[in-house]
Amino acid sequence: MPELLRFLASRGCHGALILGTTGEGPSFSPAEREALWRSALPIREEFPRFRLLAGTGTPSLSETVDLTQLAFRLGFDGVVTVPPYYYRNASAEGLFEWFRRLIEQAVPEEGTLLGYHFPRVAGIGFSLDLLEQLMDAFPRRFAGIKDSSHDEDFALDLGRRFGADLAVFNGTDSMFSLALQNHAAGCITAAANVISPLLRQVYDLANQGQDPSVPQASVTRYRRALEEYPPFPAGVKALLHRLHDFPRWPLRPPLLALSQQQEEGLVSAFGA
């Protein structure tokens, strides 16, 4: 873990989300999550400003509270929490109550929680009204969302409704410059593990008022290559091994490694 985080920090990443979707967070027990989170802490010795976020969402409110409390006790800068997937028919009132209890019980006054909006996978997400309700109730602690909806209209709606008041971290690399044009704060993406220098170029150019279209075109091309060889955890781990000499890390069932043919196709697309 420290080697991977050092690699990311040296390639322009401001921080990392530990045990999100690409990190296969739902496949790890609470004890395993704690061990992995603790293993990330040494990055602060070399990069003291490197931000650490923990993926803490589960369908269980009590388990999510425990994991969130643990992340802040360990000194993480914030948590990224998916709504209680499985309960796909939960009402807006029910989701607000779930997050209200979570924040009141587990997020300290100086802490930060980001909602994880990934309805295509989680089956449930955040409406604009729910986001506004949470912002009004917890203006400091509910800071924003990771938007992995892959929905351009939603990205535009977020910008129109909240401006820069809601910290939006784009999760769809091909939409990164669009999200930045609509007040997004940055990105948290699977592809950042392997193309962070390009993503940083898009970020820096956009924040300097310059045209990020050239690096964005490359980002989009690599993102689409990853999409051709799902699942993302398998593709990212194969690329880190083949292109950057990291160990060939395994996946946990039900996810499976890419076939040799798929891996060669992906590596070829990135090697180009």
Active site residues: 21, 86, 116, 146
DSSP secondary structure string for all residues of the chain: -HHHHHHHHHTT-SEEEETSTTTTGGGS-HHHHHHHHHHHTTHHHH-TT-EEEEE---S-HHHHHHHHHHHHHTT-SEEEE---TT-TT--HHHHHHHHHHHHHHH--TT--EEEEE-HHHHS----HHHHHHHHHH-TTTEEEEEE-S--HHHHHHHHHHHTTSSEEEE--GGGHHHHHHTT--EE--STHHHHHHHHHHHHHHHHTT---HHHHHHHHHHHHHHHTS--HHHHHHHHHHHHH--------TT--PPPHHHHHHHHHHHH-
